[in-house]
Amino acid sequence: WRGPASLWLLKLAQAEGDADRIQAQFASWLRDDGRIGAPQREVHEAVAAAVTDPGQREAARQTMAQAVAQWPDYDWTALLLVLGLTDEAIAEAARPKPASGQILLMMVWSPADRALREHPGFLALGNAAGLLAFWDERGPPDGCAVAAGPPPRLDCER
């Protein structure tokens, strides 16, 4: 679990906004997460500047589109989230690929992922995973409410 733990620490650094700490935590995530293969690690490293520099985001978007096409069995959702490419992260999370576990649904509750949770496409992901039925029965996550829309979305305090 070192990889997911390092990713959480990266998300916390992003929420605090310290660019040096974000870059250091990004490097730790790459070092710690054994699920990232060597070719995919090169992609992560190629887009690292975009994690703290929004001016690099368009180039990262293009690099990521190429990476998804080249390695369709790899789940790029976490990297897309870290890059702030929310629309692409939603599309990637919904894209058919070999099962990667439920790590995405476990990892999206940090303040850094608010844009993903409030994206209208997130409810489709949540519905596919059974979250909406669970929330209907037990209530939404603490600090969140399902807003009717249009379009419907999950509104969270943090």
Predicted local distance difference test score (pLDDT) of residue 99: 63
Mean pLDDT of 114-125: 85
DSSP string of the chain? -HHHHHHHHHHHHHHHT-HHHHHHHHHHHHHH-TTS-HHHHHHHHHTGGGGT-GGGHHHHHHHHHHHHHH-TTS--HHHHHHTT-HHHHHHHHHS--S--TTHHHHHTTSGGGHHHHTSHHHHHHHHHTTHHHHHHHH-SPTTEEEE--SSPEEEE--
Is this model's pTM higher than 0.85 or not?
no
Task: Give percent above pLDDT 70 in the chain.
Answer: 93
Mean pLDDT of 137-143: 88
Identify the residue with better confidence: 54 or 150.
54
- pLDDT digit string, tens, across residues 64-87: 999 999 999 999 999 999 999 999
